[in-house]
Amino acid sequence: MAKKDWGLLVLLIVVGGITALLNPRFLSAVNLLDMANLIGLFGIFSIGVGMVIITGGIDLSVGSIFALLGVVFIDLLVNRGVPWPLAILAIIAGGIVLGAVQGLLVTKAKLQPFVVTLCGLLIYRGAARYYTTDATMGFGYSDDFDWLAWLASGRSWGIPHPFMILIAVAAIMGVLLHRSVFGRYLFAIGRNEEAARFSGIRTGAVVTGAYIISGGLAGLATICLVFYTNSVSPSSFGNFYELYAIAAAVLGGCSLRGGEGTIIGIVLGTALLQVLQNLVNILGIPSSLNFAVMGTVILIGVLADQPFVRRAIPSLRRERSAVRQATTPGA
Amino acid sequence: MAAAPLLSLVGIGKSYAGVRALDDVGLTVEAGSVLGLIGENGAGKSTLMKILGGVVQPSAGSIVVDGVAHSAMTVAGAARAGIAFVHQELTVLDNLDVAANIFLGREMLGGGPLRLVRSRRMHALARPLLERLGADFGPETSVSRLLIAQRQLVEIARALSMDARVIIMDEPTSSLTLQETDRLLQVIGELRASGVAVIYISHRLNEVKLCADRVVCLRDGRVAGGLARDEITHEAMIRLMIGRELRALYTPPRSVPQGALCVIDRLVTGAFPDREVSLTVHRGEILGLAGLVGSGRTSLARALFGIDPILSGTVTLAGETVTVGSPRAAIAQGIYLVPEDRKREGLVLDMPLTENISLASLRRYARFSLVDRAAETVAARRQQGALKIKTHDLAVHAATLSGGNQQKVVLAKWLSMAPRLIVFDEPTRGIDVGAKGEIYALMRALADDGVAIVMISSDMEEVIGVSDRVAVMHEGRIGGVLERADLSEFNILRLAVGQDAETLESA
């Protein structure tokens, strides 16, 4: 684990510890497992968005992807009688296709990622609302999908399945990002796309790959989210979720300039966001302050990582320079 | 030289975290004279100039301006004393026009509540400054349309607009062509005649010799020595810089070039859609590619390496016609490029050396597309040893190395594969003399191993010293090819300006 990740873990423990001191209910099994469930749900797609951010891009479209794929998913299962394994594959494939289109618009048409995915955000949301004529879709009273619901949002040995899925996704993506050739290329492109291209890397294909991963993970997350809420109202389902993902990635050490970030960091960032939400609920802070608390903590976290703040904190400076001397002798 | 010194530095010292960057450095600058400041990279030139500009505070010594001693300079104080910089990396903004750049931060404002910028007045004030420098563009020209040399004139005009008395030029000619360099040297001569003092920092000893009244050399943070006007020779300067005789900057070839490796036939690139380039490069030779900036040398290199599209014509490598549609395709053919802009195109500065070295060949160190870091490190270490990359640790970021070592890392990236043709674009730009010799030796060793090398260079000494043959480009085509025996500055220049001897003499 990188130093930044340890710092984040410490922050997570400190925030959790304070909350637990103020209200011991925080540490109850029920509360912790509920939180794990949410961390799972949000972590899956935050990792995808994080991959895009590492290339120096951004993905604003995931929240709307949930709405569009969510209504399609329920429609396939309930109204069209598509077998569930096929429906799941179709939804993940749908996410991959949307990601690929966005990736190609960024790399081939050379459009700015912000613009491309902002248009995605608007288009998918509008398409979802048109698809259902703005009506909420649900599974009704049918119990045909109980088994699928258990798979996507149930628990085994007490552990929520979305959390298990997140661990699996994080493990695979961790190897992909930190051990594979593809991951190395992602970092190289994020730091200097020109030099990567001059080294023979197919930068367009690699960047498109990151958008495909983000789309695919958004598809996977859609399935879990649909069963978490049990219905999809296309105008509000997944609203703002792209911002949760970006916040988790930034909190987890990704730089919006690209080339920085770890999977563990993104997962810890997601966890910290959920702990903060939980803190707001459990400490009886008015829930209207929810976003304000989150924003403040992210701001403090990002500020603490700025050079001028590090310089102002002598103990931090000593630690940093010691590390620097240890890693770069005489360079 | 009876003039009272405008400015002098006395006993300047500077330590960074216990490391001595400068120790007891003194120098004086007289009005109307040019001081050449030389020394290898890391000798302390930049630190000294930063102290002069008030950006860095010295730990010892004093700065005397007009007879008043200061223990440190401030940025505002330096500006008030008339000290101005013309930076190596130009600091003009290319979305503004020339006059707006000259008066950046000191815009003329109109009256009234809005205090609008008075562009016309700035244009009027900028015009005489540009005329004084012999600029061939007006104050209303957008900087984005100017060449690097012209942008530099804008910087000098900005210095003059602030009534600069001392202008510090840091490697001003590193991106200029010969002609532009000559022009700049003329401008410096005129500045001197009008009483301005110039501190001229350069690795190009020829230019220092041409323009400097005195030379001061720094070595390891100390003054290694000074030379008066009639003592300034190449040998004397090199001796001061490296503290020993430089026996051979250029390594002689061990073997003779063999048959043709790369035949470029009637190649047309986007930069010059109506010009064809035909050129043959032999195995084991270093072919110098000379010409003015903008004559199509870099366009040719970019086309060969698959960055810019080839409109028509063929490239044949060892008898086979190859298509180079992308850098990836070029690399697969063994065609590599050491680009002109190392920091942007050659290296990922914020990545460890190991990862930079393996970037182009990463798949070789991967199993099931997972990187085998041990194998990668072993390969990087081998390259470090072979190229003598000076660092204790291959995990440091490329940004921390000196220019010469960075260039070796770019080269290391390619040498772990199988080069057939390597194009070097300005291989020693911004690199100090000692490291230059090493880069030349590496190029020569590659050629001796049968690799074909094309070296694009604007440094005339380098072109003549290193090349086996020289092709000279002029306005998008090959103006002529000179054999080793015919290499001379005059011959190269003649071809570079299109064989018009009359233009040459008037230039």
What pLDDT band is residue B248 in, cutting at 50, 70 and 90? low
Cα first-last separation, chain B:
30
Strand, coil or helix: B279: strand
Could you give the CA distance from residue B221 to residue B391 in angstroms, rounded to a whole number?
A: 20
Q: H or E element: which one contains A7?
A: helix A3-22
Spatial strand order of the sheet with B5-16 comes to: B19-30, B5-16, B60-65, B68-70
More confident site: A249 or B6: A249
Contact A15, A141 (CB under 8 A): no
Could you give the CA distance from residue B46 to residue A71 in angstroms, rounded to a whole number?
A: 63
What pLDDT band is residue B107 in, cutting at 50, 70 and 90? confident
Please give the residue of chain B at the shortest CA–CA distance from A203. Answer: B328
Could you give the CA distance from residue A263 to residue A240 in angstroms, rounded to a whole number?
A: 22
Could you give the CA distance from residue B403 to residue B385 in angstroms, rounded to a whole number?
A: 18
Question: Is the pLDDT reported for residue B177 higher than 60?
Answer: yes
Q: Which neighbouring-strand residues pair with B370?
A: A180, B367
Select from A180, A194, A328 the Cβ nearest to the Cβ of B371: A180
Select from A191, A194, A327 the Cβ nearest to the Cβ of B351: A191
Residues 61-100 (A) with a CB less than 8 A from some CB of B: none
Of the candidates B245, B239, B226, B203, the residue with the CA atom closest to the CA atom of residue B433: B203
Select from B330, B346, B350 the Cβ nearest to the Cβ of A191: B350
Q: Based on the number of CB atoms within 10 Å of its own CB, is A322 exposed (0-12), middle (13-18) or buried (19 or more)?
A: exposed
Please give the residue of chain A at the shortest CA–CA distance from B399. Answer: A331
How many residues are there in chain B?
507
- Residue A327, chain B, CB below 8 Å: the answer is yes
Distance from CA of B153 to the nearest CA of A (A): 29
What pLDDT does residue B503 have?
Answer: 42
What pLDDT does residue A270 have?
Answer: 94
- Residue B355, chain A, CB below 8 Å: the answer is yes
Q: H or E element: which one contains B29?
A: strand B19-30
B-chain residues near A181 (CB < 8 A): 362-363, 366, 369-371
Helix axes B119-132 and B148-161, enclosed angle (nearest 10): 110
A-chain residues near B395 (CB < 8 A): 327
CA-based torsion, B458, B461, B467, B470: positive or negative: positive
Please provide residue B376's backbone torsions phi and psi, each rounded to the nearest 5 degrees. Answer: -60, -45
Please give the residue of chain B at the shortest CA–CA distance from A328. Answer: B396
Question: Per the CB < 8 Å rule, is B401 touching A331?
Answer: yes
Distance from CA of B356 to the nearest CA of A (A): 9
Please give the residue of chain A at the shortest CA–CA distance from B351. Answer: A188
Please provide residue A199's backbone torsions phi and psi, each rounded to the nearest 5 degrees. Answer: -95, 10
- Residue B296, chain A, CB below 8 Å: the answer is no
CA-based torsion, B199, B202, B207, B208: positive or negative: positive
User: B212-221, B378-387, B486-495: which range is least confident on average?
Assistant: B486-495
What pLDDT does residue B17 have?
Answer: 63
Strand, coil or helix: A216: helix
B-chain residues near A329 (CB < 8 A): 392-393
- Residue A203, chain B, CB below 8 Å: the answer is no
Could you give the CA distance from residue B163 to residue B196 in angstroms, rounded to a whole number?
A: 9
Could you give the CA distance from residue B172 to residue B433 in angstroms, rounded to a whole number?
A: 17
CB half-sphere exposure, B6, CA atoms < 13 A: 22
Q: Checking phi first, is residue A137 left (phi over 0); if not, alpha (psi -120 to 50) or beta?
A: beta
Where do the H-state alpha helices sit in B40-111? Answer: 45-52, 75-80, 98-102
Could you give the CA distance from residue B252 to residue A147 in angstroms, rounded to a whole number?
A: 79
- Residue A325, chain B, CB below 8 Å: the answer is no
Question: Please, what is the average pLDDT of chain A?
Answer: 86
A-chain residues near B360 (CB < 8 A): 199-201
Question: Please, what is the average pLDDT of chain B?
Answer: 84
Please give the residue of chain A at the shortest CA–CA distance from B17. Answer: A321
Question: Per the CB < 8 Å rule, is A191 touching B348?
Answer: yes
B-chain residues near A259 (CB < 8 A): 350
Tokens of B164: 């600069």
Question: Is the pLDDT reported for residue B501 higher than 50?
Answer: no
Residue found by looking up tokens 């997972």 in the block = B370
Question: Per the CB < 8 Å rule, is B359 touching A199?
Answer: yes
3-state SS of chain B: helix, strand, coil percent to 5?
A: 35, 25, 35
DSSP code at position B277: E
Q: Based on the number of CB atoms within 10 Å of its own CB, is B321 exposed (0-12), middle (13-18) or buried (19 or more)?
A: exposed
* Ordered per-residue pLDDT tens for chain A, 331 residues: 677 788 889 888 988 898 888 888 888 888 889 899 999 999 999 999 999 999 999 999 999 999 999 999 999 888 888 888 899 999 999 999 999 999 999 999 989 999 999 999 999 999 999 998 888 888 876 667 777 888 788 888 988 999 999 999 999 999 999 999 999 999 999 999 989 999 989 999 999 999 999 999 999 999 999 988 888 889 889 888 998 999 999 888 888 888 889 999 999 999 998 998 888 888 888 878 888 887 887 788 777 766 665 555 544 444 444 444 444 433 3
Is it true that domain A25-327 has CATH number 1.10.287? no
What pLDDT band is residue B405 in, cutting at 50, 70 and 90? confident
Where do the H-state alpha helices sit in A180-287? Answer: 181-191, 193-198, 203-229, 241-251, 263-282
Tokens of B424: 């070097």
Strand, coil or helix: B258: coil
Please give the residue of chain B at the shortest CA–CA distance from A188. Answer: B348
What pLDDT does residue A328 have?
Answer: 41
pLDDT tens digit sequence for B433-465: 778 888 898 899 999 988 999 999 887 778 888
Question: Per the CB < 8 Å rule, is A181 touching B370?
Answer: yes
Average of per-residue pLDDT across B367-388? 88
Distance from CA of B112 to the nearest CA of A (A): 39
Question: Per the CB < 8 Å rule, is A198 touching B355?
Answer: no
A-chain residues near B350 (CB < 8 A): 191-192, 259
Question: Per the CB < 8 Å rule, is A198 touching B346?
Answer: yes
- Residue A318, chain B, CB below 8 Å: the answer is no
Could you give the CA distance from residue B406 to residue B385 in angstroms, rounded to a whole number?
A: 14
What pLDDT does residue B91 have?
Answer: 77
Please give the residue of chain B at the shortest CA–CA distance from A186. Answer: B359
Question: Per the CB < 8 Å rule, is A202 touching B392?
Answer: no
Could you give the CA distance from residue A191 to residue A199 in angstroms, rounded to a whole number?
A: 13
Contact B150, B92 (CB under 8 A): no
pLDDT tens digit sequence for B234-246: 778 877 877 655 4
Question: Is the pLDDT reported for residue B268 higher than 60?
Answer: yes
Mutation pick from B302, B348, B376 vs chain A, by most beta carbons of A within 10 Å, is B348
Strand, coil or helix: A103: helix
Distance from CA of A142 to the nearest CA of B (A): 45
Residues 244-263 (A) with a CB less than 8 A from some CB of B: 259
pLDDT tens digit sequence for A233-252: 898 898 889 989 999 998 88
Residues 4-43 (B) with a CB less than 8 A from some CB of A: 17
Please provide residue A118's backbone torsions phi and psi, each rounded to the nearest 5 degrees. Answer: -65, -40
Could you give the CA distance from residue A330 to residue B226 in angstroms, rounded to a whole number?
A: 30
Please give the residue of chain B at the shortest CA–CA distance from A192. Answer: B348
Contact B243, B219 (CB under 8 A): yes
- Residue B418, chain A, CB below 8 Å: the answer is no
Could you give the CA distance from residue B198 to residue B214 in angstroms, rounded to a whole number?
A: 11
B-chain residues near A179 (CB < 8 A): 370-371
What pLDDT does residue A218 have?
Answer: 95
B-chain residues near A327 (CB < 8 A): 393, 395-396
- Residue B350, chain A, CB below 8 Å: the answer is yes
What pLDDT does residue B101 have?
Answer: 86
The complex's ipTM works out to: 0.79
DSSP code at position B257: -
% of chain B at pLDDT higher than 90: 14
Please provide residue B466's backbone torsions phi and psi, each rounded to the nearest 5 degrees. Answer: -95, -35
Distance from CA of B17 to the nearest CA of A (A): 10
Average of per-residue pLDDT across B66-71? 83
